[in-house]
Structure 1
Amino acid sequence: MSPKSKGRAVAKPETAQGGARARPTSSEYAERVLGVIESIPSGQVMSYGDVAEYLGEGGPRQVGRVMSTWGGGVPWWRVVHADGTPAPGLESECLARWREEGTPIRGDRADMRLARWDGSAL
């Protein structure tokens, strides 16, 4: 487990030399993002920022861009905003998939306290 971030522990690999986050390159970065998303267990979620933090590069917007471009073949419903809400326009399908997988839900969002995956099994 790595250092705590915003009150939660998120496991992640080392950052670039000097501790700075490396700037992502599109195809390699996209492959890494999609690989993390494929590894999120059923019934759990990560925020866009969690994915970027785990990878040690990019940010929530870069992860979102990868998801919007290439994310159709991975369990996209397991990646949410930091407050647990799904991507706009995908709410009803996302909620149905969460119920099917047994994801902890609070209202119309994932219960981040219970559903957040820290990446520790990777």
Structure 2
Amino acid sequence: MNESLVEAVREVVVAIPPGSVMSYGDIAERVGTGPRQVGRVMGLLDEAAPWWRVVHADGTPATCHGGRAQGLLDDEGVPMRGTRVDMRRARRP
């Protein structure tokens, strides 16, 4: 994997503030790649990166890490609509 892409994705992810989210596509647009590549990079990041703040475009949280994303998002007060993030309210610009 391209180290500069990994670092670029990591920088965007760690800049997402608590209570906000970005989609894989949002990050892809920022770093100039595709959402699938962002997903691959996310698998390479360490636990220090707030992986739970990266969600699918429809607001579905990640299912990796034993399904902990939902609880972590709840703990941060991320606005939800059922089991999905309310992207209109929670998406980081």
- What's the CA shift for 1:107? 0.8
The equivalences for 1:1-122 within 5 A come to 26-55=2-31, 57-90=32-65, 92-118=67-93
Which consecutive residues of structure 2, in runs of 5 or more, have no partner in the other structure?
none
Q: Tell me, yes or no, if the aligned pair for 2:27 and 2:38 is still in contact at 8 Å.
A: yes
Q: Tell me, yes or no, if the aligned pair for 1:33 and 1:51 is still in contact at 8 Å.
A: yes
Which consecutive residues of structure 1, in runs of 5 or more, have no partner in the other structure?
1-24
SS of 2:44 mapped into structure 1: helix
- Alpha carbons of structure 1 residues 83 and 71: separation in structure 2 relative to 1, 3 Å: farther
Q: Tell me, yes or no, if the aligned pair for 1:34 and 1:71 is still in contact at 8 Å.
A: no
Compare CA radii of gyration and give the structure with the larger one. 1
CA distance in 1: counterparts of 2:73 and 2:66, whole angstroms: 10
SS of 1:103 mapped into structure 2: coil
CA distance in 1: counterparts of 2:27 and 2:47, whole angstroms: 17
- Runs (4 or more) in structure 1 with deviation over 6 Å come to none
Give the count of matched residue pairs.
93
State the TM-score, normalized to the length of structure 2: 0.91
State the TM-score, normalized to the length of structure 1: 0.70
